Amino acid sequence: MNAARSGYRVFSANSTAACTELAKKITERLGAELGKSVVYQETNGETRVEIKESVRGQDIFIIQTIPRDVNTAVMELLIMAYALKTSCAKNIIGVIPYFPYSKQSKMRKRGSIVCKLLASMLAKAGLTHIITMDLHQKEIQGFFSFPVDNLRASPFLLQYIQEEIPNYRNAVIVAKSPDAAKRAQSYAERLRLGLAVIHGEAQCTEQDMDDGRHSPPTVKNTTVHSGLELPLMMAKEKPPITVVGDVGGRIAIIVDDIIDDVESFVAAADILKERGAYKIFVMATHGLLSADAPRLIEESAVDEVVVTNTVPHEVQKLQCPKIKTVDISLILSEAIRRIHNGESMAYLFRNITVDD
């Protein structure tokens, strides 16, 4: 299929070769070629984008995977979108499998909701639609003034469990904190497996961070209304660490949406080993694997880490053979085809519930 003649083009906004692999896989499935463009960094650090073909009146899909240099990737996406907008593209759809700054989607003490800022910047640059995958918080979709399709990677990860984990019927799905319990429950119900939740003082969740309610700080000699006595909020005290659920003699499969700093996963694996789990898998959609993650995984009790290719991690795989990759280019290419043809996206959300 000639994409140009059919009224759409697919571009990659990345300036590094490692980040264009997903774009190549998507275009191969579509039977199309990547649009002709040049994205590079000048000697002074500025990003330059040049579109090398006409895009007038066409649907343009920009595939942008996010490497470790997040801010450069964001600027590449913004500048390319604006270049396409000024070149009279009909629609500009961003295909951003891992949406950056998604963890900064809540107000913190004297902070900002950076994810909302990024959504506004993308709209201003010219994007009219976004395809993404497993947003860290589903409420992020409300930050945008245009449609957002939040696809799910869970069907691919569930398929991996069924086909690649021997004796998976003897497994239990584990949430490494109560925050991840809904996701773990979804996997457990679909696989007809048991559920376990790790809870206790070793965990640190986003809810425990300062969220602005402690501001302003108490200051001596502050004038207080003589008749005003506000009830004192009791400090949180986590119970001793416990595993709610039986993992003895079972395969433990820890599920989450993002694996970045792996210390919490390594700690969870140690606890599960102590409770009798004989094999431990970690599965997530986005494998950021920052800092010393490969080394820590290699030295840990984790037997295998399974992530999708929403984020490039080939270097980390060379450093740690325990890291495995699941390809999700199939669902992204199908989403592109359906959006361009004006077809319903419902097929891609079969049996997906609000909690998934």
DSSP assignment of 17-47: GGGGHHHHHHHHHHT--B--EEEEE-TTS-E
pTM of the model: 0.88
User: What is each CA distance from 187 to 114, 139, 184, 191, 197, in whole angstroms?
Assistant: 30, 21, 5, 6, 13
Reported confidence tier of residue 1, pLDDT bands at 50, 70, 90: very low
For residue 87, pLDDT beyond 60: yes
Average pLDDT of the segment spanning 139-159: 95
Average pLDDT of the segment spanning 137-154: 94
- The C-alpha atoms of residue 257 and residue 356 are separated, in whole angstroms, by 11
Which amino acid would we find at residue 298?
Answer: E
Nearest C-alpha neighbor of 255 from the set 170, 177, 168:
177
- With vertex at residue 194, the alpha carbon angle to CA 188 and CA 197, rounded to the nearest 5 degrees, is 85
Q: Side-chain half-sphere of 273: how many Cα atoms within 13 Å?
A: 13
Look-up of token digits 């003649």: 5
Average pLDDT of the segment spanning 6-20: 87
The confidence score (pLDDT) of residue 340 equals: 96
Local structure of 271: helix, strand or coil: helix
Residues 6+ apart with CB under 8 A from 321: 298
Q: What is the pLDDT of residues 199-253, one digit of tens each?
A: 876 544 555 445 554 455 555 555 556 666 778 878 877 777 889 999 999 999 9
The confidence score (pLDDT) of residue 251 equals: 98
Average pLDDT of the segment spanning 252-261: 95
The confidence score (pLDDT) of residue 224 equals: 55
Q: Pinpoint the residues of the chain covered by CATH 3.40.50.2020.
A: 9-151, 155-201+240-326
For residue 82, pLDDT beyond 50: yes
Mean pLDDT across the chain: 90
Average pLDDT of the segment spanning 324-329: 97
Average pLDDT of the segment spanning 71-76: 95
- The C-alpha atoms of residue 172 and residue 187 are separated, in whole angstroms, by 10
Q: What CATH number should be reported for the domain whose range is 9-151?
A: 3.40.50.2020
Q: What is the pLDDT of residues 301-319, one digit of tens each?
A: 999 999 999 999 999 999 9
The confidence score (pLDDT) of residue 203 equals: 44
The proportion of the chain whose per-residue pLDDT surpasses 90, expressed as a percent, equals 76
The confidence score (pLDDT) of residue 319 equals: 95
Which amino acid would we find at residue 9?
Answer: R
Look-up of token digits 């979709």: 141
Q: What is the pLDDT of residues 165-190, one digit of tens each?
A: 999 999 999 999 998 999 999 999 99
Pick the CATH number of 155-201+240-326 from 3.30.70.2700, 3.40.50.10710, 1.20.120.430, 3.40.50.2020: 3.40.50.2020
* Cβ-contact 36, 28 below 8 angstroms: no
Exposed (0-12), middle (13-18) or buried (19+): which is 292, by Cβ within 10 Å?
middle
